[in-house]
């Protein structure tokens, strides 16, 4: 009786194992499918795999190079955010939103100049490469206008006295040479306004204030 029970158990186990083997083989055949491909199709498949592998290797190399660049930048203390912040600081400084310091020239004007002559002087400084300009404590920006009579010049609502100073940040030698050259703006103003005197002094360190004007356009808007 026990012998028959053991034989029955072995038969059941063998049957179950057989079923599992068949299921496994069918699953492999269904999941693979390579035996259904022709030699030409297999060749194309291998070629595509090789091409994709080459692409992946190239992407890995590019990513590794970018990582190395970022790590080197980080080691130097440079970051993308830091660079953007530095660029923004420069833009704010040179548009007049923030005060700036640097070398340049200071022009002391005595005896009086009319509004047009002061505008000519400012434009000459710009043409000579001045990066920032101020008249007394008023920062010059694109909307700045010099106006008023000879004895009451105004920049915005600020009255210029006599004497007044024009300060410009830039290369001192270049600015001085442009202003004082033969036939330059100083010589021209000496001819058209003989009562005025302009003294140009190179300065190692100037500090120009920020503008108090609102520089946001009223009618225009940036197009990104």
Claim to verify: residue 108 and residue 197 sit in the same structural domain: yes
Same domain for 60 and 103?
no
pLDDT digits (tens, 9 = 90+) for 157-180: 888 888 999 999 999 999 999 999
Q: Is residue 16 part of a domain?
A: no
The domain in which residue 70 lies consists of 36-74
User: Do both 142 and 48 map to the same domain?
Assistant: no
Strands 158-159 and 154-155 come out as antiparallel
- Tell me the per-residue pLDDT of 14-51, one tens digit each, with 9 for 90 and over: 554 554 545 455 544 544 455 666 777 667 667 766 77
Ramachandran area for residue 97 (φ above 0: left; ψ -120 to 50: alpha; else beta): alpha
Same domain, 109 and 56: no
Same domain? For 105 and 202 the reply is yes
pTM over 0.85: no
| Cα 210 to Cα 212: distance, rounded to the nearest angstrom | 7
Q: What is the pLDDT of residue 42?
A: 65
Residue 116 belongs to some domain of the structure: yes
pLDDT at 82 over 80: no
Lowest mean pLDDT among 4-8, 78-82, 156-160: 4-8
Q: From the CA atom positions of the chain, what is the Rg in Å? A: 40
Cα 91 from Cα 223, distance rounded (Å): 17
Total domains present in the chain: 2
């Amino acid at each position: 009786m026990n012998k028959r029970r053991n034989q029955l158990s072995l038969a059941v186990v063998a049957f179950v194992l057989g079923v599992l083997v068949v299921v496994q083989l069918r699953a492999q055949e269904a999941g693979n499918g390579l035996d259904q491909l022709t030699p030409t199709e297999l060749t194309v498949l291998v070629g595509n795999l090789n091409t994709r592998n080459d692409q992946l290797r190239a992407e890995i190399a590019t990513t590794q190079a970018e990582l190395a660049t970022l790590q080197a930048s980080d080691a130097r203390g440079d970051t993308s955010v830091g660079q953007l912040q530095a660029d923004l600081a420069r833009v704010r400084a040179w548009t007049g939103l923030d005060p700036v310091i640097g070398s340049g020239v200071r022009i002391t004007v005595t005896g009086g100049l009319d509004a047009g002559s002061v505008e000519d002087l400012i434009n000459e400084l710009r043409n000579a490469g001045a990066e920032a300009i101020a008249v007394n404590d008023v920062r010059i920006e694109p909307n700045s206008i010099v106006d008023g009579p000879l004895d009451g010049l105004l920049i915005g609502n600020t009255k210029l006295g006599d004497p007044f100073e024009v300060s410009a940040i830039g290369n001192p030698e270049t600015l001085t040479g442009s202003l004082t050259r033969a036939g330059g703006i100083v010589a021209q103003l000496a001819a058209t306004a003989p009562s005025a005197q302009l003294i140009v002094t190179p300065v190692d360190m100037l500090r120009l204030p920020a503008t108090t004007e609102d520089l946001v356009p009223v009618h225009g808007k940036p197009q990104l």
